[in-house]
Amino acid sequence: MEIPSYFIDFLKEIRLTDNQVSELKKGHELLRKRLNDYEPLSPIIVSTFLQGSYRRSTAVRPKGDARSDVDVIVVTKLSQDEYTPRAALDVFVPFLEKYYAGKYRIQGRSIGISLSYVDLDIVPTSAPSESEIGILESSSVRTDETIEDAEDWVLKKSWLALDQRSFSKMAALNETIRAEAEWKLSPLYIPDCEVERWTPTHPLEQLQKTRDKNKECNKHFVNVVKALKWWRRLNPEPKHPKSYPLEHFIWTCCPDGINSVAEGVTKTLETIVNDYSEKPVLPDHGVPEHNVFARVTDEEYDDFYQLVCDAAKIARKALDADDVADSANAWRELFGSKFPAPPDNGNGKNCAAIGGFTPRKENTVLGGNRFA
């Protein structure tokens, strides 16, 4: 059974909390303001924008004492011909020493900043083409609103963030937006110290593909991703795939037109079982020469595939169950204790099994069109 009310409560338990979102915003907004105001750096900074699972609405709640994290792309005017990857990262060291001394570390392709309440990643890029600078400075790029916050987000000149809109002018603005073609940008290049060269990435294309897939899946796709990321967290071995590679694989396998998270989870797992018994090559969005699964070993994929086979059987059992209690208990077998348990009526029988509803101690709140 799909038992959507149970999935609504489950997703509430695995999403970032309001406090965690507030901490993310506090951390990245302060970082971006400091970057723009720091005089030695401001002349070389074209734009800053968010990438990653938070921006795509696919982030899940950190485990235990782990902090939430957010990636900040910093589009610079640095030339690939003049700066090696390491030299490009070193450009930020004086800034980091001033504002984040003892809290940062230079990584292979970014700079990590660990604060008491959030982890930040600065991901600098080399200079974009002159024709794309104006685009990268636009509201549609710089907004920090997620796919679920702003469902009408498009990469267009006239698009405005929610707090920049005037109600009286929205009808005319919507007409203008509809008439515009969506921008097609080139990949950005980030410094990769491991291979000692600048390598392409396309976070905005990833965001567009996630937005489109979510629409094609009746707004359930991002929640299918969150659910399966949580399942993966409960099954941490093998180490790979996880994070974005896992999300991209779900994007590949989740069928369009799903009507619930339960259906999406089940059919995604079954697609992997039926179509991907061997490790696939997964071209990245916007950078097709990049195989998202490049770091996944054959042995890791074989172990992961067996994990998926077991999970697919449980999900199918839960989806096909005729009894709400049986279904909920099977979903709990897959997703753990964060998935609501069916209540007992005191006579050894489930109220849910009898009536088909889960008694609530408090009202379920549907926020941000996050349907289950």
The pLDDT tens digits of the residues spanning 264-301 come to 999 999 999 999 999 999 999 999 999 999 999 999 99
Per-residue pLDDT, 365: 43
Return the amino acid letter for 32: R
Contact criterion met (CB below 8 Å) for 101 and 94:
no
| Euclidean distance between CA atoms 58 and 241, whole angstroms | 16
Name the one residue in this structure whose structure tokens are 């690939």: 80
Per-residue pLDDT, 366: 42
Per-residue pLDDT, 66: 85
Per-residue pLDDT, 353: 38
Per-residue pLDDT, 372: 56
pTM of the model: 0.91
Per-residue pLDDT, 356: 38
- Which residues of the chain fall below pLDDT 50? 345-371
H/E stretch holding 75: strand 69-76
Residues involved in catalysis? 69, 71, 121
Per-residue pLDDT, 352: 40
| CATH no. for 4-355 | 3.30.460.10
| Euclidean distance between CA atoms 54 and 20, whole angstroms | 11
| Euclidean distance between CA atoms 226 and 16, whole angstroms | 10
Return the amino acid letter for 248: H
Contact criterion met (CB below 8 Å) for 11 and 227:
yes
Write the CA distances from 275 to 159, 213, 305, integer angstroms. 39, 20, 11
Helices and strands, counts by H and E, the chain = 15, 9
| Euclidean distance between CA atoms 33 and 29, whole angstroms | 6
To 5 degrees, how large is the angle CA 189–CA 301–CA 232? 85
The overall average pLDDT reported for the chain is 92
Per-residue pLDDT, 218: 98
66 contacts: CB under 8 Å, gap ≥ 6: none
